[in-house]
Structures are given as structure tokens and as C-alpha cells.
Amino acid sequence: MGRLRHSLRDLVKVLLVFTVCTFVFYMALRMVHGEYERQHRYDPPGGSAVKVSSSQDSDWADRLSIFFRLGE
């Protein structure tokens, strides 16, 4: 009976440590997520930024061909 009680107590310790570590990890992820939520990701770039894409009036078949070739 003593061995069963000892094993059960060890199991409870492991579950408690696992639960506490999971909670701490979850709270850390929430803090990081909150920090990144406050950033403005889609602000226009400042300085001497250069536009890399141009909107050309090309045929949709050409654009589809490029999509399949490049995989983008």
C-alpha cells in the first residue's frame, strides 16, 4: 500500500509541475501575442523605399502561367 501511495504522490507532483509549466508557457505566449498585436504591420514604408511590383494590364492567362511556373 505504501508503494502505491508513493507512486500516486509522484504522479500528482508530475501533473502539478506539468500544469504550472503549461500555464506559464501559455501566459508567455499571450504576452508576446499582445506585444505584436500593438504593432502596425501595414504602415507605408518610410525613407527611400522602392516599389517592387508593378500593376501591368496583362492577360489573365499569362498571369496564371507565371503562377504555375513559379509556384507563387
Q: What is the pLDDT of residue 38?
A: 82
Structure confidence by residue, pLDDT tens digits, 11-54? 999 999 999 999 999 999 999 999 888 887 777 777 887 777 66
Residue 57, amino acid: D
Q: What is the pLDDT of residue 58?
A: 65
Q: What is the pLDDT of residue 67?
A: 82
Instruction: Please tell me the distance from the alpha carbon of residue 18 to that of residue 26, in angstroms, as a whole number.
Output: 12
What region does 40 belong to: left with phi over 0, alpha with psi -120 to 50, or beta? Answer: beta
Q: What is the pLDDT of residue 61?
A: 81
**More confident call, 58 vs 71:** 71
| pTM metric for this prediction | 0.52
What length is written for the chain?
Answer: 72
